[in-house]
Every structure is written in structure tokens, then in C-alpha cells.
Amino acid sequence: MRSFIFNMLLYIMTAVFAVVCVLLSLMPGRKPIMYGLSAYTKTMMWLMKTVVRINVSVSGRERVPDGAVIIASKHQSYGDGYVMFSQFFDLSFVTGDHLEKFMLIKRVLRKAGAVVIDSCGGSDVRDRLQERADIIRKEGRRLLIYPEGHLSQVGTQHRYRKGVYFMYRDFNCPVVPVATNLGQRWNQNDWHKHAGNAQVEFLEPIPPGLDKDEFMLRLETAIETRSKELLDLEDLGALNPDDIGKLAENDVARSKRIAKEDQQDNGEK
């Protein structure tokens, strides 16, 4: 029953704030719409706590430096975005263009300074990332990216996409990895929510200047290792212990992606 009530409130509040944010987007500057998004995400955090009794604790916030920085987070839940936006006022983020099919959302994304990329990939993705990175860096803002490019079943991971490296290179600034076990309480976009504690932890920043292989290894190791350590094996929630450590990608998909990325890398050289 609690999950049903929460989901109904989620749909209602999302619709209400979508209209509010569209109206705010008509005002000059980004601040009005960021206030709207901040109010929306904090409302959802309150509903998570009071309705479905998901208690989210955030640690390591002091590790996020001021100014331009990339926040690279594990992505297990639709609730992840609410947590991140509740921590930062002026936050930009990378998202797929699937959201732009909703015209109201498209306007909000553009006004909020989101980096909207082709969900299917393509040669223009890195160019768009670099272009938006230049703007965000000059404005000294934080940029949120989910390096797997997918919502992951709690306990599993997807292969990390290399787009995060190219943004790291273009930003020339630290990357702060983020680990979480929120998926145990709100797994992906599941209807049913599980009451209990969840943790989100900002880890030690990765300094600029690393080559691609070293950076990708450090990022993936930090996020995946700590996310596994955060798993609550006493109160499983949505976690199936057999899923811990699984790579959520079959051999065919993996070989196609590697071939495509290698081709892009060779074309860049």
C-alpha cells in the first residue's frame, strides 16, 4: 500500500512540477528553474522518507570541490537523481535524448543546462559533450554523469562507457566517484519500494591528467568496489545476492560495443 501511495504521489508531483518548471523556464536566467527543480527533488526525498520509509544517508559531501567538477555516480534507481539534486543547487547533468519526446520536459532540460545526447550513440555525441563541457566549465558548475549509461539491477554493473573519460579530459578537472546501495530500496524503476536504510557516498576525487585506461580503471574500481561494500546483506530489500558482481551485458552486445568504440577511437587518432 505504501508503494502504491508513493507512486501515485510521484506521478502527481512530477506532473505539477513539470508545469511549474515550464513556467519558470520562461523567466530569464537559470536560477528560477533550478529553484523549481530543487523544490521538486527535496519534496520527493521527503516523500521517500515519510511514505515508503526509505532513509537515505549521504556521506563524503565535503570531498566535492568547489567550482567545475564532474560527479560520476552509480545508477541503480530512479531515486538517484533526487538524491543528487537535493545536495547541489546548480547541477548540470548528462541524459539521453529519450526524454525529449516529452515537449514540456525538453524545454525544462534545455533551460536547466542539461547535456542531452543521442541515446543510440553516434559520431556527434562526443562533439556535443565537448561543446557543453566548455560552457559548463567556464561557468564553474558541477556536472553529473552516470558512466554506465544504464540503470543497473542492484548488485550488477554494466560496462563503463568511455564518454566519461572524454568529458574528464575536456573538463580538465577532478572527477568525484559516487557509490550507492539505493537500489536495494528502490531498484531501477520498480513499482515496489522496500523500506530501510540506503547510503550514498562521495568518494575521493580522481585528479585530472590521467590517460584513458588508468582513469577508467580507477573510476570503475572505486565505484563498483565501494557500492558492493555498501550492500546491506542483513536487510536485502530488492537485492538478490546471486546478482552481486554480475556484468549486465551479454557477449554479443559487448563485442559490438567494443568494436564500435575501437572504431571511434581509431577515427579520433
Query: In this structure, what C-alpha cell is assigned to residue 89?
Result: 543547487
pLDDT at residue number 43: 95
pLDDT band at 117 (very low <50, low <70, confident <90, very high): low
- At residue 258, does pLDDT exceed 70? no
Q: Are 167 and 217 in contact (CB under 8 A)?
A: no
* Structure confidence by residue, pLDDT tens digits, 45-94: 999 999 999 999 999 999 999 888 999 999 999 999 999 988 988 788 77
Q: Of 151, 201, 144, 200, which is closest to residue 175 (Cα–Cα)? A: 144
Q: Mean pLDDT, to the nearest integer, of 134-138?
A: 73
pLDDT at residue number 28: 87
State the average pLDDT for the chain: 85
Indicate yes or no: pTM above 0.95.
no
Q: Mind listing the domains of the chain with CATH numbers?
A: 55-268 (3.40.1130)
pLDDT band at 268 (very low <50, low <70, confident <90, very high): low
pLDDT band at 119 (very low <50, low <70, confident <90, very high): low
Contacts of 57 (CB under 8 A, 6+ apart): 197, 198, 199, 200
Distances (CA, A) of 111 to 24, 44, 102, 106, 114: 9, 21, 14, 9, 8
Q: Mean pLDDT, to the nearest integer, of 236-243?
A: 94
> What are phi and psi for residue 86, nearest 5 degrees?
-75, -15
pLDDT at residue number 67: 83
DSSP letters along 48-60, please?
Answer: HHHTS-EEEEEE-
pLDDT at residue number 18: 86
In this structure, of 156-160, 176-180, 260-264, the range with the lowest mean pLDDT score is 260-264
* Structure confidence by residue, pLDDT tens digits, 222-236: 999 999 999 999 999
Strands in 115-117's sheet, in edge-to-edge order, are 54-59, 196-202, 175-180, 69-73, 142-145, 91-96, 115-117
Task: Report which DSSP code applies to 206.
Answer: B
> What are phi and psi for residue 185, nearest 5 degrees?
-100, -35
Cα–Cα distance, 176 to 223 (Å, whole number): 10
- At residue 242, does pLDDT exceed 70? yes
pLDDT band at 10 (very low <50, low <70, confident <90, very high): very high
Let me know if 132 is exposed, middle or buried by CB neighbors in 10 A (0-12, 13-18, 19+). buried
Q: Mean pLDDT, to the nearest integer, of 247-257?
A: 63
Query: In this structure, what C-alpha cell is assigned to residue 61?
Result: 559531501
Q: Amino acid letter at 220?
A: E
Task: Report which DSSP code applies to 28.
Answer: S
pLDDT at residue number 207: 95
Q: Are 180 and 58 in contact (CB under 8 A)?
A: no
pLDDT band at 266 (very low <50, low <70, confident <90, very high): low
pLDDT at residue number 259: 66
pLDDT at residue number 101: 54
- At residue 113, does pLDDT exceed 60? yes
